[in-house]
Amino acid sequence: MGSQMAETLNWNRNTPWVDSPFFTELLAAAELDEPSRALVRGFAENGYVIVDTGLPEATLDAVVRDLEGKYHPGTAAYADHTRIQDAWSLSAAVKQVATWPKILETLSLLYRRRPIPFQTLNFRVGSQQRTHSDTIHFHCFPARFMCGVWLALEDVGADNGPLRYYPGSHKLPIFDLHDLGVTASRQKGLYEHYVEYEDFIEALIAARQLKPVEIDVRRGQALFWAANLLHGGSPIRDPSRTRHTQATHYYFDGCSYYTPLASDLALGRIEPRAVFDITDGRRVEPVYNGVPLSRLSLRVRSLLARVDKLLP
């Protein structure tokens, strides 16, 4: 590799390579077999890929069985009659899906950093959730190092409320509440202005004439979607159908993590997110440009103490 190319690889280290303006050069320089190259290129262009996970039938069945009768408030961090958040703490099978090697390897290929599964959402039926980008819910510095993986535990198609997504929409700017003139950190609760965000996204889709795709996936397949890809849950056409699926969200190593619905970046009001790695249950140390934030803040504190001593 020429030194020019080596520099190019270095310049943009704080953008996932799939989102980098140097992506063409980076891909040309990468040593990958043809299927991996095609996968990465597809993800960069469309913001999603569908992958056969090879998860055993027994695991897929165990997820559904373990969570039977648990779709009601009180069973986990959050649960209602359609979804359970963080069921990985209740079910070894849910955790096995979140930490499945084929999924982790694919994420490492797409992001070139170690993936950290940090949240699971299990669905019994279609969510019918309005369209959004997950960057409004959880994001990080550097930006875009987050990825959703949506696994079909049964076949999902037009009838049972499939996931709907907008190919290429990950290339749009990342929008947060400040873009709508809302001061996030002054909200009464995270969701006070959320409907305005949803209306905004709907208007954006109409104005840009973005065309949705409804996911049609077989049991055992997973959709990987980029942090900023617009997506939501389609209407359930056949109310008698279940839609057993698991969405796992991943952060990556070497980042710091925050909650955009509670943050105003320009005011320095950043609501940090405590991230726990589902793999080992350990708290992930936030990092800024390679330096653990705990050490950085210590250094800043000692610097301020020195400055203080100089003041009259």
Ligand X SMILES: O=C(O)CCC(=O)C(=O)O
Residues that bind Fe ion (CB under 5 A): 134
Question: Computed over its alpha carbons, how large is the radius of gyration of the chain?
Answer: 20
Residue nearest to Fe ion (CB): 134
Residue placing its CB nearer to ligand X in the complex, 260 or 264 = 260
Residue 126 or 286 having the CB closest to ligand X: 126
Q: How far is the CB of 82 from ligand X (least distance, A)?
A: 9
- Least distance (Å) between residue 166 CB and Fe ion: 12
Q: DSSP secondary-structure letter at 229?
A: -
| Residue 123 interacts with, from Fe ion, ligand X, none (CB under 5-8 Å by kind) | ligand X
Rounded least distance, CB 117 to Fe ion, Å:
15
In contact, 152 and 219? CB cutoff 8 Å: yes
> CB-wise, 201 or 287, nearer to ligand X?
201
Q: Shortest distance, CB of residue 137 to ligand X, whole angstroms?
A: 7
Closest CA to 39 of 29, 52, 55: 52
**Cis check: omega of the bond before 292, within 30 degrees of 0:** no
In angstroms, rounded to a whole number, what is the distance separating the alpha carbons of residues 95 and 72? 20
d(CA 308, CA 210): 55
SS3 state at 257: strand
From the list ligand X, Fe ion, none, partner contacted by residue 59 (C-beta under 5 to 8 A by kind)? none
Residue numbers at the binding site for ligand X (CB under 6 A): 121, 123, 126-127, 129, 134, 148, 163, 231, 233, 245, 247
User: Closest Cα to residue 274, out of 167, 147, 140, 164?
Assistant: 140
Beta carbon of residue 15, minimum distance to Fe ion (angstroms, whole number)? 21
Nearest to 261 by CA among 171, 182, 205, 202: 182
Query: How far, in Å, CA of 146 to CA of 20, rounded?
Result: 15
The helix/strand/coil state of 213 is: strand
Minimal CB distance residue for ligand X: 233
Q: Which is nearer to Fe ion, 112 or 132 (CB)?
A: 132
Does residue 39 contact residue 109 with C-beta atoms inside 8 Å? Answer: yes
Q: Give min distance, CB of 60 to ligand X, in A.
A: 16
Is residue 222 within 8 Å of residue 104, measured between CB atoms? Answer: no
State whether residue 233 is helix, strand or coil: strand
Shorter beta-carbon distance to Fe ion: residue 164 or 254: 164
Question: What does 247 bind: ligand X, Fe ion, none (CB cut-off 5 to 8 Å by kind)?
Answer: ligand X
Select 83 or 193, whichever has its Cβ closest to ligand X: 83
Closest contact distance (angstroms) between CB of 79 and ligand X is: 15
Minimum CB distance to Fe ion smaller for 26 or for 278: 278
